[in-house]
Amino acid sequence: MTFLTLLARSPRLARAVPQYAEEIGAEAKVLAAAGLPRRSALALAARHRLTHRFVPSPHYVSELTLVAAAVIERRDQPGHVIELGAYKGSSAAKLSSACRLAGKRLWVFDSFEGLPEPAMDDAEHQIERRRCFARGDYAGSLEEVRSAVRRFGSLEVCTFVPGWFSETLADFDEELSVAFVDVDLTESTRQAVAAAWPSLVDGGVLFVHDATDAKLRTLLADADWWRELGAEPRTSFLPSRTDGFLERRSRTLAWFLK
Ligand SMILES: C[S@@+](CC[C@H](N)C(=O)[O-])C[C@H]1O[C@@H](n2cnc3c(N)ncnc32)[C@H](O)[C@@H]1O
């Protein structure tokens, strides 16, 4: 079902769009600057808002707009897109629309049963507020994620890879242009970045969500670790953009250009 058909069939959805007119306008500008025609940019920004309203998610729409814009910017370059950490499928739905517009495949990796058991020193985090993670937090089943993408995104560009990263990422060798890592735990972030970074083409970009958390920040600032991944040590990583767009909402998204 297309976005417009969806709107026409649901007065509730249609009412949600004008309510967010200002945000949709700001987000459309970012998408248009990435190279989308203005009309498509507006449609994609509105679709992001709708997705956000109906699919539970811990990210800010503006953050996913930046990731989607990075995908659009790379539409003429090689490399597909990977999402590590899907929850109920809100970010996957948003990224799948960008991938369709950019002619890219979206790989979605998740256990589809929530977080693994955290190590003792990895359970507590400070992601905007104090969190104590446990096994099964942020669980979303494969069917829930597929259904969110079917309703609000583009299922046909997605490949879902269920299982623990320690098993599923070992054989992954697709070329990537954009990677979005949103997995809460330090150990999961370590595994996700270690798999995604070497697969990124030159000019590719890696995003890490929740990077203001002290534990993730320490990992991401570890020069020795970056060297092990074959990269120059990353020095500056926060905030990801200082043009004011993210500042209004969030500063938790870090990015690393290859
Ligand atoms: C915060 S949620 C993702 C939120 C989602 N990106 C969104 O914005 O709606 C974290 C996800 O990471 C997944 N996850 C974390 N560690 C994992 C691991 N080691 N293997 C597989 N999945 C993992 C969880 O199952 C969960 O779906």
* Domain-wise residue ranges, the chain: 59-257
- Identify the CATH number of the domain defined by range 59-257: 3.40.50.150
90: nearest Cα among 133, 46, 49: 49
- For 38-68, write each residue's pLDDT tens digit: 999 999 999 999 899 899 999 989 899 999 9
Residue 245 CA to ligand 1 center (angstroms) comes to 25
Cβ–ligand 1 contact at 72 (below 6 Å)? no
Cβ–ligand 1 contact at 118 (below 6 Å)? no
Q: Is the dihedral of CA 128, 110, 200, 98 positive or negative?
A: negative
- For 27-38, write each residue's pLDDT tens digit: 899 999 999 999
What does pTM read for this prediction? Answer: 0.92
pLDDT of residue 133: 95
HSE, CB side, 13 Å, CA atoms: give it for residue 249: 18
**How far apart are alpha carbons 148 and 39 in whole angstroms?**
23
Looking at the chain, how many residues does it have? 258
Q: Which of the two residues, 189 and 130, has the higher pLDDT score? A: 189
Residue 109 CA to ligand 1 center (angstroms) comes to 8
pLDDT of residue 26: 86
Residue 123 CA to ligand 1 center (angstroms) comes to 14
Residue 88 CA to ligand 1 center (angstroms) comes to 9
Q: How confident is the model at residue 242 (pLDDT cuts 50, 70, 90)?
A: very low
Q: Is 252 helix (H, G, I), strand (E, B) or coil?
A: coil
Cβ–ligand 1 contact at 127 (below 6 Å)? no
Specify burial of residue 228 (Cβ count, 10 A radius: 0-12, 13-18, 19+).
exposed
Q: Is 183 helix (H, G, I), strand (E, B) or coil?
A: coil
Residue type present at position 235: T
pLDDT of residue 129: 80
Q: Is 73 helix (H, G, I), strand (E, B) or coil?
A: helix
pLDDT surpassing 70 at residue 239: no
pLDDT of residue 101: 97
161: nearest Cα among 153, 173, 151, 150: 173
Q: What are phi and psi of 108, to 5 degrees?
A: -115, 110
Residue 242 CA to ligand 1 center (angstroms) comes to 27
Cβ–ligand 1 contact at 162 (below 6 Å)? no
- Share above pLDDT 90 across residues of the chain, in percent, rounded to a whole number: 65
- For 158-211, write each residue's pLDDT tens digit: 999 999 999 999 989 999 999 999 999 999 999 999 999 999 999 999 999 988
Q: How confident is the model at residue 246 (pLDDT cuts 50, 70, 90)?
A: low
Residue with tokens 């977080």: 115
- Mutation choice for ligand 1 from 182, 186, 213, CB with most ligand atoms inside 8 A: 182
Residue 53 CA to ligand 1 center (angstroms) comes to 20
pLDDT of residue 21: 76
Specify burial of residue 155 (Cβ count, 10 A radius: 0-12, 13-18, 19+).
middle
pLDDT of residue 8: 61
pLDDT of residue 204: 92
- Atom 11 (ligand 1) nearest CA: 85
